[in-house]
Homo-oligomer: A and B are copies of this chain.
Amino acid sequence: TEPSSPNVRTEIPGPKSRQLLKELDRIQNTGAVQFFADYDKSYGNYLVDVDDNCLLDLYTQIASIPIGYNHQSLIDAVKNEDNLSTFVNRPALGCYPPRDWITRLQTSLLAVAPPGLSEVQTMACGACSVEHAQKAMFIAFQRRKRGGAPPTQQELQSCKTNELPGTPNLSVLSFKNAFHGRTMGALALTHTKPMHKLDLPQPKWPIATFPMLKYPLEDNVRENQAEEKRCLEEVEDLIETWKKKSEPIVGIVIEPIQGEGGDNFASPQFFQGLQDICIKNDICFNLDEVQTGCGVTGLFWAHEHFNLKQPPDIVTFSKKMLTGGFFYRSEYRPQEAFRIFNTWIGDPSKVVLLEAVIKVIKRDNLLNRVSEIGNYLWPEVEKIQEKYPDLISRVRGLGITGAVDFPSPDERNKAISKLLSKGVNTGACGESSLRLRPTLTLQKQHVDIFLDRLNSVCQEMS
Contact = CB atoms under 8 A, between A and B. Distances in A.
Interface in A318-348: 318-319, 322, 333-344
Contact of A110 (B27, B70, B183, B349): B27
A62 interface: yes
- When all copies of this chain in the complex are counted, the total is 2
B75 A131 contact: no
B343 A86 contact: no
A95 B39 contact: no
A377 interface: no
A348 to B, nearest CB: 9
B33 A201 contact: no
A167 B28 contact: no
B23 A102 contact: yes
Interface string A37-59: 11110100001001000000000
B151 A96 contact: no
B169 A201 contact: yes
Contact of A64 (B70, B191, B343): B343
Interface string A83-94: 011111111101
Contacts of A135: 182, 200
A170 interface: yes
A149 interface: no
A37 B341 contact: no
Interface stretch (A156-164, A269-277, A281-289, A359-367): A156-164
A334 B99 contact: no
A62 B199 contact: no
B195 A28 contact: no
> What secondary structure prevails in chain A residues at the interface with B?
loop
A84 B78 contact: yes
B24 A198 contact: no
Given A183-B128, A207-B161, A155 B198 contact: yes
Contacts of A62: 92, 95, 343
A147 interface: no
Contact of A88 (B78, B102, B160): B78
The 4 A-B residue pairs with the shortest CB-CB distance, nearest first, are A31-B337, A184-B185, A142-B199, A159-B197
B91 A61 contact: yes
19 contacts: A26-B119, A29-B339, A30-B337, A32-B338, A33-B97, A39-B91, A61-B91, A61-B343, A64-B90, A65-B89, A71-B88, A78-B78, A127-B131, A156-B198, A157-B194, A159-B197, A162-B191, A162-B204, A198-B339
Contacts of A203: 162, 184, 201, 203
A388 interface: no
Contacts of A69: 88-89
B198 A159 contact: yes
A167 B201 contact: yes
A422 to B, nearest CB: 18
A32 B342 CA distance: 11
A24 B97 contact: yes
A33 B99 contact: no
Contact of A29 (B64, B71, B318, B333): B333
A171 interface: yes
Interface string A171-194: 100001000011111101001111
Interface residues of A, number: 126
B86 A39 contact: yes
Nearest to A195: B338
A119 B210 CA distance: 40
Contact of A204 (B97, B139, B163, B196): B163
A96 B183 contact: no
A334 B26 CA distance: 13
A59 B159 CA distance: 27
A336 B50 CA distance: 25
Contacts of A155: 194, 198
Given A37-B96, A131-B184, A160-B176, 7 more contacts: A38-B99, A39-B98, A79-B84, A167-B197, A182-B342, A185-B185, A196-B339
B159 A92 contact: no
Nearest to A340: B29
A101 B40 contact: no
A118 B127 CA distance: 27
Given A169-B201, A337-B32, A191 B161 contact: yes
A64 B344 contact: yes
